[in-house]
């Protein structure tokens, strides 16, 4: 079985991890005809699986990703407390296929807890990966809670790619406004090297 390299994520959550870096190397190779920077990127094994799953909608990669995810969460004691799994709300709501929803559902199935994709909503289309560090304040107030929990819960928030942590931070901040949210844990599939 392939190995992963979990990375502890520090933030306003109780405990969090990214399962591996997204890429190993990325070399600038020029500018394309539309003025976009082009890079030659070598991704980690998990990073490549996620890339194919998310951007090429290759759903056959989900089982292989889940095998690597289960390899980690089966040993992560914190998930024994989790009552519900929530995906970070996606920036691109026009996708017919939402990769983070699928990942959250599969992780919830493994943990035998529910997953809800309608508790949180992103009300703008800013993608934190496309914002400069100085523009991350644009994400403040960008996520709203549509529902509250009627009993005390411990939540696992799932995201596909951790860059600056701004979106994840805002997600957890909003969840903590619900008095019934006791602990929030976070799991991202990969993390950028910045």
**CATH of residue 116:** 3.40.50
Query: How far is the C-alpha of 158 from the C-alpha of 171, rounded, in Å?
Result: 10
CA atoms 186, 106, 194, 169: torsion sign: negative
- Give a yes or no: residue 32 inside a domain: no
- Give a yes or no: residue 33 inside a domain: no
Digits of tens for pLDDT over the chain (194 positions)? 678 999 999 999 999 999 999 988 888 888 989 888 888 888 899 999 999 999 888 999 999 999 999 999 999 999 999 999 999 998 777 777 899 999 999 999 999 999 999 999 988 765 544 444 444 444 556 899 999 999 999 999 999 999 989 999 999 999 999 999 999 999 999 999 87
- Give a yes or no: residue 152 inside a domain: yes
Containing domain of residue 127, as a range? Answer: 7-27+39-191
What total number of domains does the chain contain? 1
- Give a yes or no: residue 13 inside a domain: yes
- Give a yes or no: residue 54 inside a domain: yes
- Give a yes or no: residue 1 inside a domain: no
Taking the whole predicted model, whether its pTM rises above 0.75 is answered as yes
- Give a yes or no: residue 173 inside a domain: yes
């Amino acid at each position: 079985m392939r190995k992963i390299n979990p990375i502890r994520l520090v933030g306003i959550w109780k405990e969090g991890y990214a399962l591996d870096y997204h890429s190993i190397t990325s070399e600038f190779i020029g500018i394309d005809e539309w003025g976009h920077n082009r890079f030659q990127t070598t991704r980690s094994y998990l990073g490549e699986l996620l890339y194919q799953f998310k951007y090429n909608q290759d759903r056959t990669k989900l089982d292989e990703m889940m095998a690597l995810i289960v390899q980690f969460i089966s040993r992560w004691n914190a998930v024994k407390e989790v009552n519900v799994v929530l995906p970070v709300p996606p920036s691109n709501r026009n996708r017919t296929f939402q990769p983070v929803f699928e990942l959250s559902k599969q992780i919830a199935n493994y943990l035998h807890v529910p997953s809800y994709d309608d508790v949180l909503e992103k009300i703008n289309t800013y993608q934190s990966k496309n914002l400069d560090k100085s523009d991350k304040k644009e994400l403040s107030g960008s996520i709203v809670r549509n529902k509250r929990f009627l009993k005390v819960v411990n939540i696992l928030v799932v995201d596909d790619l951790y860059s600056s942590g701004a979106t994840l931070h805002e997600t957890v901040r909003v969840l903590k406004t619900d008095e019934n949210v006791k602990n929030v844990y976070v799991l991202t599939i990969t993390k950028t090297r910045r």
